[in-house]
Every structure is written in C-alpha cells, then in structure tokens.
Amino acid sequence: MNLLAGARAMEARPVTLADIIPDPRFHCSFPHDISALDASVARRGVINPVWLIPSDGKYDLICGFRRYRAATKAAQEKMPALILEGADEYTLLLMQAEENSHTRGLNLLEKAMLIRSAHASFGKTPEQVIDTLFPAIGLERSMVMYNAISQVAEYGPYTQALVASSGMGAKQAAVLAQFEKEERELAAEWITDHRLGLNQCVQAFEALLDIRVNQGLSASEVMDEMEKAAAQNWDATRRTDVIFNTLIKKSKPALASMEYDFDDAVAALTLPPQVRIRPPKNFEGRHIELTIRADRAESMSAAIAALGKVERGGLEKLFKWI
Amino acid sequence: MSGYPIDRIAVTKEAGASPLLQRAIAAWPGAEVEQAQAAPEGDGLAMAADPVAQGKRTLVLVKNRGRFIRKCPGTMGLICCNYWVIDLVEGCAIDCSYCVLQGYLTDRRIRLAVNFDDMERELDTELAATDGPIRLGTGELSDSLMFDHELGISSMLIAMVRQRPRVTLELKTKTVNIDSILDTKPVENVVIAWSLNAPAIAYGEERGAASIEQRIQAASRAVAAGWKVAFHFDPLVIHDEWEAGYRQTAALLAEAVDPARVEWISLGALRFHPSMKDVIRRRFGAEGILKGEFALCPNKMRYAKPLRRRLFSTVKNALQEALPGAPLYLCMEGAEMWKAVFGALPQAMPRNAPMKRLFA
Ligand code: SF4
C-alpha cells in the first residue's frame, strides 16, 4: 500500500521552530535514551527533515518529535522539514508509524500509544487498527495482541517508563496486566529504583504475582520486607543482588527450604574453600556437581586430599534431596 | 448427541467424499459448510477475542498427508511408558484451563483426518517393524470420544484394531459418550479410559467435560457391559483441600468399579510449557490452576519436587487403599520420583507387579 498516495510533499526547507506545533495525536516517542541524538543535533543540527502539515499559518508536527525536541533543547532556530499537503490525517499517522518503525524501531509503549491515538483521535475500531496500523508497525494481525498491547497505554507513568526503558515485548509485559494499577505502579517504581535488567525485571513481577497468589501478600508488603533484607549502608549493586535473590527465594519457598537444608548439609562436611558442591537445578535430575577451583597444583592437590577424608555418611546425606 | 456446538464445517476437496462429512452435516444441521484449502490455511481466527474458544466451534475435515502413528517420543531423563499416538484428530471441543493445545496448535479449529485407509496401512507397517505389543491412543491432541455420538469414530477405530490383537487401543475421554461403543460387543484389545481429577478441578478447570460422578458412572456401565477400562489422574493439581478431593474421587471410583477390571491408572502432575502461562492467565485468570510453586524442569513448568513427591505419594496411597491391586504408574517422571513414590523403578519391580507389563 502506498501510504502517501494523494499527498503532495514539497522540497525540504528550513522551518522556524517557533512555527512548529507538536500535534499530540501523532506523538508516540518514548525514548529511554536520546542523549546520542541530542549530542548530534547540538553539533550538526537536524539532518533528516521532519514531516509537517500546514495548520492555520503554522505547521503541525507529524513525524520527528525526537528531532524537534533535540533541536529545541539545542536552542536552534530552524530545522529542515517536508511540508505535506493533501493526505488524510490517519494516513499521516500510519506513515509516521511506519517511518519510525523502520528507522529506529518502536518500543512497546510507543506501539500502545499509536494504537490509542488511532482509536481515540481518529475513531478507528479495533478491527480497523489491526488491518491498517498493525502491518505498518510490524505486528501480526491479532485481536489478542491488540488487547495485550493497547492496555499498556493505560498504565501509570512508572510502569510505562519501565516498559519503554527495559525493552519489554508484549509477551514479557503480559504479567503486568495481572496487577491493580496502584500496585503495578509501586512495583514498577521499586524495580526502576533497583535498576534491574529486562529478564530480572520480568522475573521480579512474576515473583510478586506468585507471592500474592500463593501467599496472599500484596506487592507493597513484599517490597517492604525485601528492603529490610539488605542493609541500607551496602552499595547499590549488593543491595539489589540481595533483594532480588531474596525475592525469588520467597516466591519459591519449597525449593528455597531445600536449598537451605542442602547448604547446611554441605557446610557440615567442612570442605576446603576451593571445593563447591551444587545440587541439580531445581533439584531435578540425579547428579550433584562438585567443583574444585584452584589456581595452583598444590591448592588442587590439597583440595583432593581433603576430599578423601570426607565421611561417606555426610556425602550420602546430600543425595537424599535429589 | 454430545451437545458440543459446531457452527462451521470446513472440508477440503479430497475429504469431500468421506461419509464423515454427511454425518457431520446431519449432526450439526445449523452449521455453515464451506470449502477448506488443502494446505494449512491458518484458522482465520485472528480477529477473535478468544481464538482458542472460537476455534472449537469449527470442524475441518481433511486428508492427512503426514504420518498418523508415532511412538510418544518421551522426554530425556524421564521414564517412558511405551505409548503410541494416533494423530487422527487435532483440537478438542472441551476447554481445559491446562490444555496444551491452547498454545501448541497454530490452527485452533478441530481438524479430523478422514483417510482411515492410510492410517490402517501405516499401522500394519508399524506392526511389521515391531515385535512387541503396541499400546495406542487417540487422546493426545483431542478427546477420543467427544464427537462419538455424532461421527462414530470409535467404531471405525475399534474395527481397525479388532483384527490386530498385538495392538491395544485406548480411547481416552472426559465425556460420557459411550453409547455407540456399548452397542457393540466388547473387544479384548480395546480399553476405554477416563481422565479423572478431584471434583473441584473437574468442575472449575475442565469446561465442557462431564462431572467426575458422571465419568465414573459411565466407566461403571462400560465395565458392566464387559469393556476394559483405565483411568488417568492427570493432571494432578495442588489446590485447596486437594488431598480430600483426590480421596473423594478414589472412593467414588472404588464404589463403582471393581479394581480387578482396571487395566491401568496413570498419575501425572500438572505441567506446562512456560509460554502457556500467559494464555492460561488471559483465559482463566492467575488464581486458578497457576496457583502453586512451579519450577522449570527441564523445559516445562512443574510443581517443585518436594510438592510433587507429596502429591504423588498421597494420591498413590489413596488409590492403593481404594482400589487394591490396580496397576498404577507415573507419567512423565524420572527415576528418582519413581523410587520416592513406589520404592523402585518399574523395570526393577517384582515380575507380578501390576504395572510391570506396561514397561516391558
Ligand atoms: S480434554 Fe484434553 S485435549 Fe480436550 S481440552 Fe481438555 S486437556 Fe485439551
């Protein structure tokens, strides 16, 4: 489909920033980091023209919100623009969506905002959105997907920022729908504060949900408890590690209790520090792993000698867990 | 009639001459009949809010160009019960919250292969290549008897195995659709099997299935008519008062069925691919079947090992008390779980152990 059929694009020409009005219906940018763009625009100005439509003697911004923001921040007076005439406005939305999707990729929140805009500002039905916008932004035709993504536009600011900055996909974000708005916001703020990566972020939401479902504790109760698990004077990385691991253990109490018991049994063996004994993952499987970590032959030989003295009964205890 | 609604019957050109088409049209006279493409065409359900539920209302009659019969591949590290699967029907009219089909099939309609002749030929080829017995079932990607009153598929399958005594056919169901089976003389190498569960799970998680009481009553009728029966306590689910729930089902079963007439009872704990979590939450909520402590092992979510051990031991004890001597086995579990629950691996059990022959 030629989205621009019927539209006339003039030559790119400089337009005064003061004459450009960002049209919120077309705004979908939710970048997590535009510092590179800011620096480039500050240094060399905007290179690729933004897209505008004439509006009461001024221009509405259709495509290029991030460039516009960077140019404004760099206090530039003008930026290059293509002035489009004659295309209907929904076509322009599709065009800018496709352009952004191809050039920089859209995050999940941006896709959600586009869906909301198509629906709320252009009166499109879900079916029409799926038929027109979805192919423009690389989504498969699916009402399930429509429902899953569009709800992200209704989330609170912390959750939205987390979705955008973590790079969550629709499948990963599905767990968010299981929380009440307020609880989801609190959790998103907490997870953002702890700077968890994408996988950890999803695991943390999953753990909070499991704890609520299985133990009846709200996310805020759990977060308070987790904060107490790490001393305030620890550095941020250590605190986050401890908090995250404690959270995962809390969500899996049966496995955690097995792990504690197993660790106790290993500790009772009084092994040399070079030796590590680990159960199979999740205690599934039939093998216990023993590793010796040594940087010198003497150290390894000492560890092997020490292992020879370990009581068989103590070792046998370990196997009762698997 | 079974009462499962079908709104649409799609048929490929090659399947158009099958008597099953006429039976389907007669069974669902209000259904639209349309031509389907021979090649996989997608299910056309993209715009449905719940494509899984919607797909259950379309029956597609096709010619199967691939294989019909395959040995259940098992999973590495787990003990295999030597089961063979017939891929005759893909898709199911029942809607269980834990059903693997929700995430497994790209075509969510019910696809029925009509080329029984090819299936029969394939079975003979497999028999020629195999020495031992073959335990064969159609209930892997469907319910074996869901449309039996409408289409009479079981009688075609029974006719197929009647002449092939090395094959044991298992018809696995959550329905009570056994009238047409009971109209025929019992066949030695056919077993009618019911999936059973705690009543609360059957009620809350198996939409469109018969109640536990109804299933057990149907089993009792089958036994009275001389048919062999089996049961699958699968998936065992940890839920509020689950011990009492499974004991109740065991007791109901013991009241209705003589354990000596039970061919086998399998026990399998709830398991699902991690990607199914979202589908289940979306379709059934987060607080139902997903309640519990799960761990990834090795590529499926299962209850954490100590929970599974307790679950199996409790249900096994309940069944052994209620139905002494009935052969029990674990489905999709490793050696360590067998040892923990039964004290030995099936191969190492005494020769007269009831489940022994399944694992020969
Ligand atoms: S009866 Fe079996 S195939 Fe049918 S929905 Fe339930 S689990 Fe799936």
Nearest by CB to residue B286, choosing from A148, A213, A285, is A213
Residue B325 lies inside a defined structural domain of this protein: yes
Residue B352 lies inside a defined structural domain of this protein: yes
B35 forms beta bridges with B11
Residue B98 lies inside a defined structural domain of this protein: no
pLDDT at B73 over 80: no
In this predicted model, what pLDDT tens digit does every residue of A160-171 receive, in sequence order? 999 999 999 999
Residue A169, judged by CB atoms within 10 A of its CB (0-12, 13-18, 19+), counts as middle
pLDDT attached to residue A319: 87
pLDDT attached to residue A5: 56
The CATH number fitting domain A9-152, selected from 3.90.1530.10, 3.90.850.10, 2.60.120.280, 3.40.50.10800:
3.90.1530.10
pLDDT at B146 over 60: yes
Q: Which residues of B touch A214 (CB under 8 A)?
A: 291-293
Phi-psi region of A232 (alpha: psi -120 to 50; beta: other; left: phi over 0): alpha
Q: Over pLDDT 90: what percentage of chain B?
A: 81
pLDDT at A139 over 70: yes
- Helices (H), ranges, A13-125: 35-44, 65-73, 89-103, 108-120
pLDDT attached to residue B348: 78
Chain B residues within 8 A (CB-CB) of chain A? 46-51, 77, 275, 278, 281-282, 286-287, 290-293, 295-298, 302, 304-307, 334-336
Could you state, in order of their start, the residue ranges of all structural domains in chain A?
9-152, 182-251, 255-318
Cα(B94) to ligand 1 centroid in Å equals 6
Q: A284–B307: do the CB atoms touch at under 8 Å? A: no
Residue B175 is part of a domain; what is its CATH number?
3.80.30.30
ipTM of the complex: 0.90
CA nearest ligand 1 atom 7, residue: B99
Overall domain count for chain B: 1
pLDDT at A33 over 80: no
In this predicted model, what pLDDT tens digit does every residue of A102-116 receive, in sequence order? 988 999 999 999 999
Cβ-contact A184, A220 below 8 angstroms: no
Residue B234 lies inside a defined structural domain of this protein: yes
Q: Which residues of A touch B50 (CB under 8 A)?
A: 144
What DSSP character marks residue B334? B
Pocket of ligand 1 (CB under 6 A): B 92, 94-96, 99, 101, 142-143, 174
Atom of ligand 1 nearest to the CA of B101: 8
Which of B69-83, B134-148, B181-195 is predicted with the least confidence, judged by mean pLDDT?
Answer: B69-83
Residue B60 lies inside a defined structural domain of this protein: no
B354: closest CA of chain A, how far (Å)? 26
Q: Is B71 helix (H, G, I), strand (E, B) or coil?
A: strand
In angstroms, the CA A197 to CA A172 distance is 13
CA nearest ligand 1 atom 6, residue: B96
Q: A143–B304: do the CB atoms touch at under 8 Å? A: no
Q: Identify the band that residue A28 occupies on the pLDDT scale cut at 50, 70 and 90.
A: confident
pLDDT attached to residue B352: 62
pLDDT attached to residue B351: 63
pLDDT at A297 over 90: yes
In angstroms, the CA A251 to CA A274 distance is 31
Q: Which residues of B touch A210 (CB under 8 A)?
A: 293
Cβ-contact A261, A276 below 8 angstroms: no
Range of the domain at B250: 65-87+131-359
Backbone angles phi, psi at A22, to 5 degrees: -65, 120
